[in-house]
Amino acid sequence: MSCSQKCIEAARKYLLWCANEHVEFRIPELKSIASMFNIPIKWIDKPKEDPYVIVEMMCEADARKLMSRSLLVRSCYELWGEGSTETELHSNVRSFPAEFMKPHLAPDKTFKVRVEAFNKTLKIADKLAKIEALEYLPFEGHVDLKNADTCLHYIEYYGLDPNSIPTTPYKMFVGRWVAEGQRELIGRFSLKTRNYIGSTSMDAQLAFIMTNLAQVQSGEVVADPFVGTGSILVSAAYWGGHVWGWDIDFLTLHARTKPTRHSQKKRLSCESIASNLEQYGLERHYLDVTVMDNAKPVWRAVPFIDAIITDPPYGIRESTERVGSLKVSRPSSYNQDDTTNTNTNTNTNTTTNTTTNTTTNTTTTNTNTTTTTNTNTTTTTTNTTTTTTTTTTTPHTTYSSSNHYPSKVSYSLSHVFCDLLNFAAIHLTIGGRLVFWLPVFREDYHDGMIPSHPCLELMYNCEQVLTVHSSRRLITLRKIRHPTGEETAIGQVADLTAKFRERFFQASLMTKYERQAIKSQFPRDKRGQGLGYRLEEAKNQTQMVRMDVAAKCEDSVIALCEATTRHKEEINILNNVNTVSVAMCEISTLGNDNNVKPIETNMTTECVTQDDSACCRHESSATRNNTLTSLSTGNQVIHKADKNTEGELNARVDL
Amino acid sequence: MKLITHNMLTSKGIKNVKEGFPLKIQADEVKNVDIDFDQDFISKMVPKLDWNALIFAAQCVGHKEDLPDTLPEGYENDEDLLRKLHHILLEVEVINGCLECPETQRKFPISNGIPNMLLNEDEV
């Protein structure tokens, strides 16, 4: 009744105050929820980085529905006014129709006003003054600070950079609180208190975001083909999905792997995927988990799944494998794979996963896996360029009635995604969604790397940065039609994904400065790209100029690092020759996260002859770009790039 | 393993197997669990099921009871039937036993309620 009344009223603006994390997922999540509930949304303000979104919706019930699913919106307010200055704000609030305000400020309604500031702590006296300034509103009810019917919020936004907080806010809003988002689920479903977890259990927040992108609703069938410990099933079941999961790892499904919790020595008998659902009272949504090879899924070829949500192993913390052996011939589609990386391992080596699992240091992980490959007993050729290592998980015989355990071979990432897409094309219902993570090496990434299938349409592609060099992208595909006869197996996957593991471990050997150089290629990661910064730039033209200089200098640092690797061999040769002179250039590097620091570059050239050890020194000032050019034109080889603690880069150059 | 899962599984992955459906259930241990009735889900699920395979599975585990041999029309509104289906699909669980391929008699073990559908390397 009240809803229909409100629906007749004109559309209103709502301020969605968002969590300041997973920024790339914010809009896709909102769009996905809105389309799931058929909520018409008009986007009024959609800043790229600032933690708010302003939308127009037809009624408050729609706003509440949106909030009932959103993980990335903290709170929703009916926007009464906004402005960049106090005058603008108050004139804006005054022009908000009185008939929209009055019902909430009527004599029978208690009210309270809260003042909040983003990125600043306000004094009580300041807050009071701001509340007093709202006295022109037609308040008629009584104040109730505990259980007010109407909560007005006065929000000030001081940008995203905690190191340069402006004296006056960039933006001010006044709104009536409508609903909270679902942020509390993050704590309630935290992996810290989860019954059964493994090394790659999905973080609760991301799992919920994934289920939102997949539009899981009550009564739907959800499947996770790389189920692991079932962390995604928990979120899907919470929204009412009925969940199936499968995985090739017998030990994981039977909760017999080495515990990943720091203090835990043994798996408890109560640990299982089903127990994770029971923990939250969701057992009625549990269908089954089965041990199954994704290269050979044995499901009946009918469209019975409404959403496939999964996180395939990348070969870093969990190995990618399928059943197979060198000794037998395999389908033609895997021929290429066979020639490069078919190492059959009959070791009773169950430790590969678990050792890599517990290590957080990627360099160590690399060493571990390498040693494992070398211990293969029936290895034919250990090809060092293969993208995945071969491991066999050989469960203890008491867990199964069968005595034979199939050997497993590596399953390249390209094939993983290809099989996943083909599976989705057959088994999803029309409109059903496939949501999965695609690990990418950031430098290599381009849109062509996103797997595609003629029956699946790309909905969203959001990046989560993992390390300076790699990230994973959450890909959401929607099934638009059933495949025809030949279309069942034509998923298109760029070959590049197969190289992810190799690139990942190469990158883990990078020096700190090579890392920084890569980091500067992706300035979007940096904080402070929000409204605050944009305004600051416009105000101060000199800072803009400095940012340009900064960009150039960063380029030169990259070039320097490239040169370092390129000339490694020459350096080795040069090491044996008498060093005639050394040119040293000192480059003061940029502040880590801040582009707007002034740049000072000094170049010192030092010539040392071996015989008389006479030194001559030239000092000059130049931009870094020039420094590098002059160094390279002099036919010099960069000898060593190292750092000192002040964050300076010293490049030694041999003439 | 619940019978709803059985209804979707095949042994088609084995070399030279054409249908591989329905798999025969050899149940060594069957458990009855209590699960809340969700009418929406069951009526949504029924059209996706293979009715004959369901009856076959129910017979295998000794729970045929009075399920009709063919799916009656208007089942969506037959709450009594939907409740029966709910019971057979979700509440009867095979804890230990195996699934047998109808063509090759290859057995897939079920242990701890989890079927192991992995094929041997010479079968793929």
Residue numbers of B between 49 and 68 with CB closer than 8 Å to A? 50
Same domain, A178 and A219: no
The residue out of A464, A485, A500 marking a domain boundary is A500
- In the structure, what pLDDT confidence band is assigned to residue A519 with cuts at 50, 70 and 90? confident
Predicted local confidence at residue A523, as pLDDT: 61
In A385-427, DSSP assigns E strands to 408-410
CB atoms within 10 A of CB A4: 9
- How far off is chain B from A290, nearest CA to CA, in Å? 5
Taking an 8 Å cut-off on Cβ atoms, the answer to whether A290 and B112 are in contact is: no
pLDDT digits (tens, 9 = 90+) for A614-642: 333 333 333 333 333 333 333 333 333 33
The residue out of A467, A500, A533 marking a domain boundary is A500
Same domain, A237 and A140: no
Residue A415 lies in a domain: yes
Question: Does residue A608 have a pLDDT over 80?
Answer: no
Cβ(A152)–Cβ(A176) below 8 Å: yes
Q: Which residue has the tokens 């007093």?
A: A132
Spatial distance between the Cα atoms of B5 and B50, rounded to a whole number of angstroms: 11
Nearest CA in chain B to A406: B120
Residue A362 lies in a domain: no
3-state SS track over A107-170 = CCCCEEEEEEEECCCCCHHHHHHHHHCCCCCCCCCCECCCCCCEEEEEEEECCCCCCCCCCCCC
Same domain, A222 and A173: no
Question: What is the number of alpha carbons within 13 Å of residue A164 lying toward its C-beta?
Answer: 14
Same domain, A233 and A89: no
Of B8, B10, B114, which has the smallest distance from its Cβ to A289's Cβ? Answer: B114
Question: Does residue A355 have a pLDDT over 90?
Answer: no
Same domain, A415 and A475: yes
Structure tokens that stand for A74 in this block: 């903290």
Taking an 8 Å cut-off on Cβ atoms, the answer to whether B122 and A327 are in contact is: yes
Question: Does residue A369 have a pLDDT over 70?
Answer: no
Sign of dihedral through CA atoms A118, A121, A127, A129?
negative
Predicted local confidence at residue A62, as pLDDT: 96
The residue out of A163, A182, A201 marking a domain boundary is A182
Same domain, A315 and A416: yes
Taking an 8 Å cut-off on Cβ atoms, the answer to whether B114 and A288 are in contact is: yes
Spatial distance between the Cα atoms of A26 and A51, rounded to a whole number of angstroms: 9
Nearest 5°: the CA angle A111, A116, A117 is: 165
Upstream peptide bond of A406 is cis (omega within 30 degrees of 0): no
Residue A596 lies in a domain: yes
Contacts of B124 in chain A (CB under 8 A): 293, 295-296, 323-324, 328, 330
Residue A648 lies in a domain: yes
In a mutational test of the A interface, the residue from B25, B36, B117 whose CB has the highest number of chain A CBs within 10 Å is: B117
Beta strand pairing call for A221-224 and A242-247: parallel
| Radius of gyration for chain A, computed over Cα atoms and rounded to the nearest angstrom | 29
In a mutational test of the B interface, the residue from A249, A284, A290, A400 whose CB has the highest number of chain B CBs within 10 Å is: A290
B97: closest CA among B23, B22, B26, B9?
Answer: B26
A507: closest CA among A442, A445, A567?
Answer: A442
Taking an 8 Å cut-off on Cβ atoms, the answer to whether A291 and B116 are in contact is: yes
pLDDT digits (tens, 9 = 90+) for A175-231: 999 999 999 999 999 999 999 999 899 999 999 999 999 999 999 999 999 999 999
Same domain, A106 and A25: yes
Spatial distance between the Cα atoms of A629 and A653, rounded to a whole number of angstroms: 13
Predicted local confidence at residue A524, as pLDDT: 55
Q: Is B45 on the interface with A (CB under 8 A)?
A: yes
In a mutational test of the A interface, the residue from B16, B34, B118 whose CB has the highest number of chain A CBs within 10 Å is: B118
Pick A338 or B87 by higher pLDDT: B87
Spatial distance between the Cα atoms of A624 and A586, rounded to a whole number of angstroms: 9
- How far off is chain B from A246, nearest CA to CA, in Å? 10
Same domain, A173 and A226: no
Of A274, A299, A325, which has the smallest distance from its Cβ to B9's Cβ? Answer: A299
Pick A561 or A129 by higher pLDDT: A129
- How far off is chain A from B79, nearest CA to CA, in Å? 16
Structure tokens that stand for A119 in this block: 């990125």
Structure tokens that stand for A568 in this block: 């490694």
Nearest-10 crossing angle of helices A500-507, A362-374: 120
Residue A553 lies in a domain: no
Query: What letters, b where the CB count within 10 A reaches 16 and e where it falls short, cover B39-75?
Result: eebbbbbbebbbeebbbbbbebbebeeebeeebeeeb
- How far off is chain B from A298, nearest CA to CA, in Å? 5
Structure tokens that stand for A252 in this block: 């994981």
Contacts of A325 in chain B (CB under 8 A): 121-122
Nearest CA in chain A to B107: A402
Give the CATH number of the domain where residue A62 resides.
3.30.2130.30
Give the CATH number of the domain where residue A244 resides.
3.40.50.150
Cβ(A412)–Cβ(A341) below 8 Å: yes
- In the structure, what pLDDT confidence band is assigned to residue A318 with cuts at 50, 70 and 90? confident
Contacts of B5 in chain A (CB under 8 A): 244, 287-288, 290
Nearest CA in chain B to A241: B41
Same domain, A165 and A230: no
Q: Is A255 on the interface with B (CB under 8 A)?
A: no
Residue numbers of B between 78 and 107 with CB closer than 8 Å to A? 90, 98, 107
Same domain, A26 and A7: yes
Residue A376 lies in a domain: no
Give residue A640's domain range: 574-654
Question: Does residue A607 have a pLDDT over 50?
Answer: no
- In the structure, what pLDDT confidence band is assigned to residue A403 with cuts at 50, 70 and 90? low
Residue A453 lies in a domain: yes
| Total number of domains in chain A | 3
Same domain, A65 and A171: yes
Of A292, A299, A300, which has the smallest distance from its Cβ to B118's Cβ? Answer: A292
Q: Is the overall model pTM greater than 0.80, yes or no? A: no
Taking an 8 Å cut-off on Cβ atoms, the answer to whether A406 and B120 are in contact is: yes
Cα-based distances in Å from A430 to A146, A260, A305, A457, A482: 48, 39, 10, 11, 7
Residue numbers of A between 191 and 250 with CB closer than 8 Å to B? 218-221, 242, 244, 246, 248, 250
Structure tokens that stand for A352 in this block: 């590969």
Size of interface A-B (CB pairs under 8 A): 111
Residue A135 CB contacts under 8 Å (≥ 6 apart), including other chains: none
3-state SS track over B20-89 = CCCCEEEEEEEEECCCCCCHHHHHHHHHHCCHHHHHHHHHHCCCCCCCCCCCCCCHHHCHHHHHHHHHHH
**Burial of residue A389 (number of CB atoms within 10 Å: 0-12, 13-18, 19+):** buried
Cβ(A82)–Cβ(A171) below 8 Å: yes
pLDDT digits (tens, 9 = 90+) for A64-115: 999 999 999 999 999 999 999 999 999 999 999 999 999 999 999 999 999 9
Residue A597 lies in a domain: yes
Quick one: which H or E segment has residue A603?
Answer: strand A601-608
Q: Which residues pair with A459 in a beta bridge?
A: none
Cβ(A315)–Cβ(A437) below 8 Å: no
pLDDT digits (tens, 9 = 90+) for B43-70: 999 999 999 999 999 999 998 888 999 9
Same domain, A107 and A18: yes
- In the structure, what pLDDT confidence band is assigned to residue A486 with cuts at 50, 70 and 90? confident
